[in-house]
């Protein structure tokens, strides 16, 4: 899985995190020291701050064959305690600055990137990660990701993105999710090339990094698109990748104008890794997440379980099959059964449409983005895209608010760039989409609630309805 960790062309700054650098050989040796200390443990929790210590601890756990459990550094006491106790991790790897961290029964293991140790042979099989993901209810569930699934996902993306040892990957994403940790940190350690993690994903940091491949979430790309010098500085990059949430079309167009190329979008989940992506050599369509990656297969299913036609209009639940699927949820056979179909496909819970050419467009979560209003089914994503086409709209989020007459009323929360009224926006959408898709209510806001990856927290918006 880490096959490029001892590749040729090593440099003193092969891995850079928040300005601190290691060669690949130094990373291997530092990780070897961690591997010797954690060997035989059932799991290794890692307090995943943006520092070399997180990367060293993660690689050390993987070399030792110990499942790595990333812990968000901003997790509250309840969430951290749940992750540590539920995962059964007896060790919490931290930097020297976090030696006083609360470990809830686990033992603190201080990681020193300058330490050196013997490097064990990397295991071929087993669980690589236990990544915790939250649903709409209950405590976060631990997703079991195998080494085989991670390798298949990274190899599929390397092929789709033409990712080679000549690339320098730049990003500043959190190191406790699939996007920032598995793609953004392990990707270069499998495909080769350099990694530059900017610590924070600021436009200035991205512009100064001189990368060929950049990862970002829509919030990051929106800020870069608004900073003309930073966006123009990315013109020498080979590929700009956006994920974790839909990229607003105006941001897509602005990046294409300033950086000289359109970004590509991809789709995945913690439970499936990245399953869909625009290819580096393929068409880049705003709002599209492209085609299945590697050996991944997809299908659309109606609420009654019938196949949905690939006509670029019909909505269905996206289901996924293939080598990147997780091995289920830790200690949750009930959740495993609920998430899989009888023939083994994973139920993503996302609503999508697929075109005749196989291109996928994600409409949103079935739980909050499939709005049933007056007998019609409306995809929130379609209405959001229409709203973002208005010249005075910076961003928009649409939910189905409870309504005694309609069941749910299409309700839009909009960040406006200039003077515009709710009535004007409603009329704008009605001119472009079916009348039943127009917002019944428009709420102008200064910002939308988001999580660390930039996804809009729609449950929080529903509570305002």
Q: What is the DSSP string of 22-51?
A: E-HHHHHHHHHHHHHHHTT-S-EEEE--SS
* Torsion 210-212-215-219 (CA) sign: positive
Pick from 333, 340, 18: nearest CA to 202: 18
Residue 69, helix vs strand vs coil = strand
Task: Tell me the residue length of the chain.
Answer: 465
Mean pLDDT of 306-330: 94
Query: pLDDT digits over 321-334, tens only?
Result: 999 999 999 999 99
pLDDT confidence of 263, banded at 50, 70, 90? very high
Pick from 158, 160, 169: nearest CA to 191: 158
Contact 61, 46 (CB under 8 A): yes
| Per-residue pLDDT at 430 | 87
Contact 207, 228 (CB under 8 A): no
Q: How far apart are CA 78 and CA 176, in angstroms?
A: 17
Specify the range with the lowest mean pLDDT, choosing from 99-103, 150-154, 335-339, 451-455: 451-455
Does 137 score more than 60 pLDDT?
no
The continuous run of DSSP H or E covering 256 comes out as: helix 249-259
Contact 56, 113 (CB under 8 A): yes
Query: pLDDT digits over 371-429, tens only?
Result: 888 767 787 888 898 899 899 999 999 999 988 778 889 999 999 988 999 999 999 99
Higher-confidence residue of 273 and 430: namely 273
Q: How far apart are CA 111 and CA 57, in angstroms?
A: 7
Q: How far apart are CA 72 and CA 58, in angstroms?
A: 14
Mean pLDDT of 38-59: 97
Residue 187, helix vs strand vs coil = helix
pTM: 0.83
Q: What angle do CA 12, 14, 17 make, to 5 degrees?
A: 105
Specify the range with the lowest mean pLDDT, choosing from 57-61, 168-172, 212-216, 301-305: 301-305
Please count the other Cβ atoms lying within 10 Å of the Cβ belonging to residue 196.
Answer: 26
Average pLDDT along the chain: 92
3-state helix vs strand vs coil in the chain, percent to 5: 30, 30, 40
Contact 184, 194 (CB under 8 A): no
Domain limits, the chain:
15-184, 374-462
Pick the CATH number of 374-462 from 3.30.470.10, 3.30.70.20, 3.30.300.30, 3.40.50.300: 3.30.300.30
Mean pLDDT of 100-129: 93
Question: Treating both helix axes as pointing N-terminal to C-terminal, what angle do 249-259 and 218-225 enclose, rounded to 10 degrees?
Answer: 50
Number of H helices, E strands in the chain: 14, 24
Contact 359, 327 (CB under 8 A): no
Q: How far apart are CA 413 and CA 419, in angstroms?
A: 15
- Name the pairing type of β-strands 194-197 and 168-171: parallel
CB-neighbour burial class of residue 306 (10 A; exposed 0-12, middle 13-18, buried 19+): exposed
| Per-residue pLDDT at 200 | 93
| Per-residue pLDDT at 8 | 66
Query: pLDDT digits over 211-240, tens only?
Result: 999 999 888 998 999 999 999 999 999 999
Contact 266, 285 (CB under 8 A): no
Mean pLDDT of 299-322: 92
- Name the pairing type of β-strands 441-444 and 407-416: parallel
Contact 79, 102 (CB under 8 A): no
Q: What percent of the chain has pLDDT over 90?
A: 72
Residue 432, helix vs strand vs coil = helix
Does 195 score more than 80 pLDDT?
yes
Can you name the residues that pair with 265 across neighbouring β-strands? 242
pLDDT confidence of 138, banded at 50, 70, 90? low
Q: What CATH architecture does domain 15-184 belong to? A: 3-Layer(aba) Sandwich (3.40)
């Amino acid at each position: 899985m880490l096959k490029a960790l001892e590749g040729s062309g090593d440099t003193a700054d092969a891995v850079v995190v928040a300005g601190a650098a290691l060669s690949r050989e130094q990373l291997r040796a530092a990780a070897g020291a961690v591997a010797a200390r954690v060997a035989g443990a059932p799991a290794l929790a890692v307090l995943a701050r943006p520092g070399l210590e997180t990367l060293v601890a993660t690689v050390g756990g993987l070399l030792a064959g110990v499942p790595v459990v990333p812990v968000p550094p901003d997790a509250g006491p309840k969430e951290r305690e749940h992750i540590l106790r539920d995962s059964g991790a007896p060790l919490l790897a931290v930097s020297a600055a976090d030696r006083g961290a609360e470990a809830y029964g686990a033992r603190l293991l201080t990681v020193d990137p300058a330490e050196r140790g013997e490097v064990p042979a990397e295991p071929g099989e087993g669980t690589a990660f236990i990544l915790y993901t939250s649903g709409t209810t209950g405590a976060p569930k631990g997703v079991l990701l195998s080494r085989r699934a991670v390798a298949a996902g990274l190899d599929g993306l390397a092929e789709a993105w033409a990712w080679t040892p000549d690339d320098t990957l730049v990003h500043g994403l959190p190191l406790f999710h699939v996007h920032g940790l598995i793609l953004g940190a392990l990707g270069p350690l499998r495909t080769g090339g350099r990694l530059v993690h900017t610590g924070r994903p600021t436009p200035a940091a991205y512009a100064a990094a001189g990368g060929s491949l950049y990862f970002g979430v829509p919030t990051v790309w929106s800020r870069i698109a608004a900073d003309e010098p930073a966006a123009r500085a990315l013109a020498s990059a080979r590929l700009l990748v956006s994920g974790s949430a839909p990229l607003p079309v105006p941001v897509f167009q602005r990046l294409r104008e300033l950086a000289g190329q359109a970004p590509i979008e991809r789709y995945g989940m913690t439970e499936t890794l990245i399953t869909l992506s625009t290819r580096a050599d393929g068409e880049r369509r705003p709002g599209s997440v492209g085609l299945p990656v590697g050996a991944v297969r997809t299908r659309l299913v109606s609420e009654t379980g019938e196949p949905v036609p690939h006509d670029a209009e019909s909505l269905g639940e996206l289901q996924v099959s293939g080598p990147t699927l997780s091995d289920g949820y830790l200690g949750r056979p009930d959740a495993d059964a609920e998430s899989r179909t009888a023939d083994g496909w994973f139920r993503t819970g996302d609503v999508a449409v697929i075109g005749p050419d196989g291109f996928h467009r994600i409409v949103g979560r079935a739980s909050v983005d499939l709005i049933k209003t007056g007998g019609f089914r409306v995809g929130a994503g379609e209405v959001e895209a229409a709203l973002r086409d208005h010249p005075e709209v910076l961003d928009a989020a649409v939910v189905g608010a409870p309504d005694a007459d309609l069941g749910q009323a299409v309700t839009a929360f909009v960040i406006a760039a200039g003077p515009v009224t709710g009535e004007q926006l409603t009329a704008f959408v009605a001119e472009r989409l079916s009348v039943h898709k127009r917002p019944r209510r428009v709420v102008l806001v200064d910002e939308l609630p988001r999580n660390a990856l930039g996804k809009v927290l729609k449950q929080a918006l529903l509570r305002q309805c």
